[in-house]
Structures are given as structure tokens and as C-alpha cells.
Chains A and B, each alone.
Chain A
């Protein structure tokens, strides 16, 4: 793997940038691997990377139906934060946030992690109480989160409209300063390059059509559009299509797939310094380094695999954005799209072993998977390597739905999380 450095950049500049190598190989699938990861998004690639780096398991293939990072990794709104209410989620997302902080150096790849602050707004008394509860719960868990008054919100984010005569006036907000954004594609590319450099095969355009099981029940391997590949351990990280992939192994999970939409405006000069989220009127936005306002809308009400979504969902979000951030009113929206998110009943992920020996699953990321990428990959790699969960993902089982140990962020976070 060609190491990136300032000196390397200078050297390449002197030779007219002719010396850059491909960042990862395009290998043919081998007949057998120790571990197969289904899905080459951020989470899948991170899993492969940590399997190789932390556990010395390098005979790994990451398979993807399309190209790497072409699913929800390329479709999300790139927000990173760890201010979750419950101890279990806080531990998981804080684990990820700590990895984000050193990720560019670790991968030798600039993932453009930018801790510009995530400000969550309160519009009514319930919001104020709930967000303050979050602030206190987070601080008890050693996670930074602070309460800002209305004026402090305005000072932190000047484009915000804090007038008291709007439909949902801003009463204050909870600010996590270490929260922010990262470049989503760079995360996939950085993990892909680093995993490939450690010997992982990333096989694109290779759809898994069936997870084959031995008569005794254990995993035998996967049938793909490029032939059968044997493996004793298979980790499924297929986001919105997890139900589809797992049904080929005769497994059902408590998941439903919904379209989640996002959109970006035309690019403008830097006007928006942080990430602002409002769960009550469902709007959240930030500004990308290209200058586009990146806006997250809600999920459609019905399950679907169409990667589209209804216009009234984005309209609803834009109405909220226009009221909260009046400078956005005359911006034209450039693109809108949908991604398919797999949602669990409690809106917390499943990162666990399954009842099938050798079959592991990391799914149910719902509407907030990107922020967890490094942490989720790290603990999932541990789970696959040691055949038992890491302390952090131990509560995120499938059995919690049977045993009643829900991690009910659905009630705690309402929509965007």
C-alpha cells in the first residue's frame, strides 16, 4: 500500500502526479475464505479492516452487489455524535466517536472528520426537559453535552432564527461540541484501502444470492453471482437488504426497511458553521465542504426498497428549514435521493451472533448508521473473531426482543438518531 504523506505529495507533484497507484486491488474471488463479509459499505469494510488489524484474520473477503460505498454509505448526511440517552447506546456511539477522532491517522487517509458541534434544538417544554435529561445522562457517562440558552444558540449558529413569533420558536438547545461531520465516501475508501493493504479481498459486483448451510445447520458459505465461496464465518452487513439476505439462510429478524430521504442545495460560500438538528419539526442540516447545505428528511411511512420516497416528506423538512434558517429560503435544491434503512422496533442496532453457527449480523442501524461506522466495525470484528460479543455490543442482541431488554432509543430520540 502506497503511504500518503506531505512528502509523498511533493514527490508526486515533481513527477507530474504520474506515480499514484490504485488504492485497492480488484481481485477474483478465491474458493474459500476464513471470513466473508456481505456488504462493502462503511460498516462492512471497517469490520474487515479491524479483523485484519486487531485480530490478525486477513483471509477475508468483502462482497458487494454493487460498488463499495455505493449504498447508504454514499447516501447519508454524514453526521457524527454520541449524545445518546441510554448507557448501552452511549457506550457504543462514544466508542465510535473516540475512533473517529484518530481515524484519519489510523487509516493514513483523510476522512475529513470535522468536530464542528451538533446542536439539537428544543421547541417546547417537553423538548427542553428531554434534552436536559440527555445532557445530564451524557455527562454521567463522561460524554460532552451542554445546554445552551436561546441566545447562546444564536451565538453558536448565527444563521438560526430565534425569533419568538415563529411557529416553533427555539427555546434552547443541547450542544455536543465533539460532534460534527466526516466525508462519507472517504470513510469507505479509507477503510477499503487500509483493509486491502492488509490482504483483505474486496470483491465488487458480486451479489450474494444465498447463504448456504450445512445439514447440521452451520454456515457453509455463500452462493454468489460469481460462484460459490466457502467460509466458516459469514458476517452480514447489508443495511436495508439484511432481511432479504438473511431470508436465504432461513432466518427472520425484527427489521423493516423504509426509504429515508436526503437532499442538498446548490453550493454557496460558508454560511453554516455547525450541525443543527430539530427532532420536533424534523429538520437537520449542515454545510458540506463543497458548500452545499446537506439536509436530512424523514422516512416514508411505508416499507419499501425503492430508494425513492414521497415529495411531501422532503417538503415538510424544507418548510422547517426555511423557518429555522431564513437564509436558506432562496436556495435551490440540487439533488434529492433516498436510501433504504433497516429499522428495529426499538431503533437500536443488532450487532450479534445469530442462532446459526458461523452467521453474524450487524444491522438495524435505522436512520443513524454513519456515525457508528468505526465503533460498529470494531466491535463486530471482535464478535466474529472471538465468536462472542465485545462488552460494548453485548446488549445489542436479537434475543433482547424476546427477553424484553429493549434499548428504547425510539422513545428517547423520537425521529432522527
Chain B
């Protein structure tokens, strides 16, 4: 019963939607958030110095991995703040959440952990 009474569901498909850990407010339902796409996509310091190839990469090319994915979320119906989440796109399990500006956890470590 101990497992069933925790707030986090046993398996991701036991829930209606994602339960997202906001670093400021704690676990909240997905509908309180908006999605901000891939995290750590930095705009060039001097965009006009970039060639078309590099500029289109910044605008349009994203990683789209099958596995751990670092992404931005914004808690619009809560604290209103942006933060980052690492979610496994094969299971939708959220592996980590951290503040904007913090360094990204090593995605490889999640991969090996899951394999164990």
C-alpha cells in the first residue's frame, strides 16, 4: 500500500497526464504548464554573423531523441517561471527537473541507469 499511496503513479500510463515537478512549486498536473521545446538552445551572441545554415539550425533544427530529452516547461498557471526537465521520450517518465541556468545533467547517465 505504501507504493500506491505515493503521489507519483507507479507507471506513467497509470495517469491521465504528466505530473511535472516544478522546482519552485513541487509536483503539479500537466495542464498547469506550457511546453517550451528543447532546452539549452542558445541564441548566437551575434546572429547577423551567422550564415544561413547556422541560423536555420538555431531556428528549426531540434534533437528529437528517442530517449532522455532536456526540455523547457513553464508553470503558467502557477509561479509563471520557466524551468528545465529531463524526460524519457520512450516512456514519458520525468527523470529530473532543474532551474534555468543550472547545468544539464548528463543524459548518458540516465540511459545507463534505465538499462539496469
Contact = CB atoms under 8 A, between A and B. Distances in A.
Chain B, interface SS category: mixed
Contact of B18 (A256, A310, A403): A310
Given A306-B89, A306-B91, A308-B92, A256 B71 contact: no
B99 to A, nearest CB: 19
Q: Which 5 A-B pairs have the closest CB atoms?
A: A254-B60, A310-B17, A311-B16, A301-B35, A243-B64
Interface in B1-50: 12-13, 16-18, 30-31, 34-35, 37
Interface in B68-101: 69, 71, 87, 89-92
A244 interface: yes
Contacts of B37: 256
Interface in A173-222: none
Interface in A354-410: 401-403
Interface string B47-62: 0000011001001111
A53 to B, nearest CB: 34
A309 to B, nearest CB: 9
26 contacts: A243-B66, A252-B61, A257-B64, A301-B34, A301-B35, A302-B18, A302-B35, A302-B71, A302-B87, A303-B64, A303-B69, A303-B71, A305-B66, A305-B89, A305-B90, A306-B12, A306-B89, A306-B91, A308-B13, A310-B16, A312-B30, A312-B31, A345-B60, A401-B59, A402-B52, A402-B53
Interface of A: 241, 243-244, 252-257, 301-306, 308, 310-312, 345, 401-403
A255 B64 CA distance: 7
| Count class of interface residues, chain B | 20 to 34
A303 B52 CA distance: 26
Chain A, interface SS category: loop
B90 A345 contact: no
B16 A244 contact: no
A402 B56 contact: yes
A267 B57 CA distance: 47
B92 A306 contact: yes
Contacts of B71: 302-303
B66 A244 contact: yes
B30 A310 contact: yes
A401 B60 contact: yes
B90 A306 contact: yes
Contacts of B31: 312
A306 B15 CA distance: 14
Contacts of A253: 61
A241 B90 CA distance: 12
A253 B56 CA distance: 11
A304 B71 CA distance: 12
